[in-house]
Amino acid sequence: MYAAGRGVLVSPTAATTGRCTPIAASQVPFKSARRVNQCPLTKSARTSLDRPSKHSLLHGLRRRSPPMQQCDRAVATRASSAAAGDALPTGPARLEKLADVLTMMFPLWALVSGVVAYRHPASLNWITGAQFEAGVGTLMLAMGLSLTKDDFRKCVSNPVPILCGFAAQYAIMPSLALAISRALGLSPGLSVGLILLGCCPGGQASNIATYVANGDVALSVIMTAASTLAATVMTPLLTSTLAGRFVPVSTAALAASTVKLVLLPTLAGVVLNETLPGLVGRVRPAMPLLAILLTVVLCATPVAQVAPLLALHGASACLPVLLLHTLGYFFGYLLPRVLGFGERTSRTVSIETGMQSAAMGYALSTKHFADVLVAMPSAVSILFMVWIGAALAVVWRLVPIKDDRHAA
C-alpha cells in the first residue's frame, strides 16, 4: 500500500512485520493507488517509517547524508563568501570595477568640467599648447594599448566602412549645417560658422567615445586620420561651395599634426600591446579612466579660452549647434544600418560623424574671419559636442551588441 504523506510503497505485510519493504510502483493497481490514502497504517508500521531499521533504504540514506544543519551552515558560508567577494573585490578586479563605475559617469565629468571651465577660466588657462598636444598624444597611446595589428589589418582589408564614414563626415554634416542655418534663418556670421563646423573632420574625442561605447576603436582611429588628412582639401572646398567663403587650410601643417598627435601614438600603443602583452594586460584596466580624465581636461581647456566670447554671444548658437550634433549622431548611425553594417560599426560611424573637430573650426574662424559670430558655433560645439557624445556612449555601453559584422 501507499503510506500517506510519505511517498513510500509498502507491502501489505508491513503492518504485521514492522518492516517497510518497498515494492515497484508497477505492482500497485491504479484503483488501489487511488484508495491508498484512505487505508490507515498500524502503529508499528508508522513507527517503522519514522524510525526505519538499520537494514532499510531510508536508514542507509540518512547514515550517508550529512546533517541538515551542517548543510545549511555550509551553504550559508559559501553564500556569504560569494557576497563578500562581489562587494569587496581585491587587486586588479577592484581597479577594473572602479574604472568601470567612473567610465559610466563620463557625461557627468564632461558636463562638470565644461561648467567649471566656463565659470572659472583661470583654472585651466595655465595649460600651454605643448601640454595640450602631449595630452592628446597620451590619450591616443591609451587607445592604442587596446588594439592589435589584426584590428588594423581587418579595417584595411575591408575599406567599405571607412568609405561609409567618410561619406557621412563630408556629406551628411555639411548638408545638415546648411539646412539648419536656412531653416532657423541664422545671421550670415552664424551661418558661415555653422557650415565651417560641419565641414571640419572628426575630432580626437570620438576615439575615446567609441572606446566607451564598445565600438570599433581601430576603425575610429583610421576614420579620424582619414577625415583629418582629407580636411586639407574638403574643408576649404565645401566651405567655399556652401558658405561662399574660401577658408584656406595648410596641408602640410594639418598632415604633420595628424601624424604626430593621432597616428604615431596609436601605433606605439599597438606595438607595446604586441611586444609586452603581460605588462599591458596589468595596466589595461586603468586605461578607460585615464582616457576619460584626459578627454575631460582636453575638452574643457578650449572652453576656458573662449569663456568671455561665450558669455557675450554663445546663446545665439546653442540651438543650431545642438541640432547639428544630435542629427549628425542620428544619421551617422542610420546610414550604416541601412547599408547593412553591424552594430559595432554603426556606433563607430555615428560617433565619428557627430563629433567634429571643433577646435580646428574655432582656430580657422578666428584666423580668417573678422566677424566674431563666425567663431560662435565652434566655441559652443566644444561645450555641447562632448557631453552629447559621452551620454550616447554610456547608453550604448549598457546595450549589448548582438551582431558584429562589417557588412551584410
φ, ψ of residue 119 in degrees (nearest 5)? -80, -30
Q: Which pTM value belongs to this model?
A: 0.66
Domains located in the chain, CATH noted: 1-53 (no CATH), 93-398 (1.20.1530.20)
Q: How do the pLDDT tens digits run along the chain, 408 residues long?
A: 444 444 444 454 444 454 545 555 445 454 444 444 444 555 554 555 455 555 544 444 444 445 555 545 554 455 444 444 444 455 567 766 776 777 777 778 888 888 888 888 888 888 887 888 888 788 778 878 877 888 778 777 888 888 998 999 999 999 999 999 999 998 888 998 899 899 988 877 788 888 888 898 888 888 888 887 788 788 888 888 888 766 676 767 767 777 787 788 888 888 998 898 888 888 877 777 787 788 788 778 878 877 887 888 778 888 999 999 999 999 999 999 999 999 999 999 999 999 988 877 887 887 778 788 888 888 888 778 888 888 898 899 888 887 665 544
Find where cell 560641419 sits. Answer: 198
Q: Residue 366: what pLDDT?
A: 76
Alpha helices in 158-276 (DSSP H): 160-167, 173-183, 188-198, 205-212, 217-243, 251-258, 264-275
Q: Which residues pair with 356 in a beta bridge?
A: 202
Tally of CB atoms within 10 A around 2? 18
Give the list of residues 6+ apart from residue 381 with CB closer than 8 angstroms, or none.
197, 321, 324, 325, 356, 358, 361
Cα separation, 18 vs 402, whole angstroms: 64
Whole-angstrom distance between the N-terminal and C-terminal Cα of the chain?
67
